[in-house]
Structure 1
Amino acid sequence: MVKVNIGQFNRLTITKMVDFGLYLDGGDEIRQGWGEILLPARYVPENAEVGQAIDVFVYFDSEDQIIATTEKPKACVGQFAYLKVVDVNAAGAFLDWGLPKDLLVPYAEQTRKMRQGEHYLVYVYQDDESERITASSKINRFLNTHLPEYLVGELLQGIVMAETDIGYKVIINHRHSGMLYYNEVFTPLRIGQTVTVNIKKIRDDGKIDLLMPQADKNDLSELENAILQDLKLNNGVLCLGDKTPPDVIYQRFSVSKKNFKRALSRLYKQRMITVEPQRICLTERQK
């Protein structure tokens, strides 16, 4: 039995080729399927043929007819995304989510009135009554409050949700929120920014502490080369050293101060640089 997930990518079989596109098997309507689903001609892959299974995103078009596309939206149902308002009318705000039909955020789903041209963090879901794909900026309602099963050290993708007095709240895996403390961040972050984080700790109450990932030993040779290249481009001198603040180092090389100092130590031991409190210099033989 074919099951179609609205607002998701589905692998569906081509049943019919027509001049204006092709039809896909959306399941028997008698068994609560969607019948044949149109994929318009402009989205049809080359060499498509009847019986072939292809991956398509399924949603409702501007006339509320079910339709398929091979385009990739900026978010699927069940995901959070930072999207721009392109229009506001009596129904609510409409967001650009990468498809021809804009995504509606009804006024009842807005934490504050949305304005055209601004970006907002939203959750994409399918409305139970209308079955339409809709968005909401009432983020906390959609976060999972059950005890997470992540492993300490696990690497995850996240979206910055909010800034607080102690750090940044980050949505991880489109399910939970975690805290990235200021002392674990080497450069300012912005709301809606996508970040890679590590699980530092899961507290007994289910709250999650996060870390920015650190470069490991295998990355240091690349970092050393970057430092040497930067030195050569700046006449053999960089105004970075042991006393340089961590955020300045991160903005320049995207690494922690700890790994920066490790790289300097290895370069120093190879007699490629000299290290002073406020600067590093190429040795004469490296110039």
Structure 2
Amino acid sequence: MLEAGTKVTLKVEREAPFGYFLSDGKTDVLLHESEIKEEDIAIGDEVEVYLYYDNQDRLAATQLTPFIELGEFGWLEVVDIHPRMGAFLNIGFKKDVLLPADQLPEMKDKWPQAGDRVYVQLEHDRQGRLLAVLGKEEDFVEISEPADQSLFNKDVSGYIYKIIKIGAFLMTEGQHLAFLHRDETNEPLRVGQKITARVSRVRDEDGRLNLTMRERKEVSYSQDAEKIYQYIKNRGTRMPYTDKTDPEIIKEKFDISKAAFKRAIGKLMKERRVYQENGWTILSEEKKE
């Protein structure tokens, strides 16, 4: 019995305006011209094809090689999203495979978008059609490699495969398992999304990574310092805020913490761009004048 997701050798029975009909002696299947790889097909030839169900739920054949086969896992690209059905994935030939909605997060803003990549296994649905199923945690553990401490503070890229309330799990391009806490992100996250983040910790016990998307401290200091410097300049060379100012006022005026404010002011003073006097922070250029 012929079934989708299998590779079989069939005989070319007859030609059609849009391809060829193949048969195992019991069932005829269409090999559409868009699915033909060999150009010299003739009646009576035996050809190796991969079977699938087309858009009319008819068993069809392709000579194109699927990216993954029945029972296999692999990373597939999302080509389209249907709000009720789920995500459609490029499997390497004309018919896309469905990743059903019940495999995806309840919140649709966490669903993948076109161009994202998901790690799935091919299975049969109840009608025998090909269906994609998301990899589970144990599937990622099986293909992962423990990271070493040389990755600490380095940037890594990877794809998110699971989102929970407190953050997201991903597989890096180096095959390392990683976790990104929601407090360490600077953007909304979704399943299948590719992100680049910095390694904030390499766990000794299992080689998993903790990641952050926050700026490195030295970059953050510079950005805060420039913001404060411009603020003073726009006020006419001085402001009534110093490292003694209440944290609430600092947060209201600059949208940063008191600690971050003190670090930024310290940087400006070390560079001799500002000085403090009688409860004021003043541009050093005023003193020169």
TM-score bucket of the superposed structures, by smaller chain: 0.3 to 0.5
| Larger CA Rg, structure 1 vs 2 | 2
Q: TM-score, normalised by structure 2?
A: 0.44
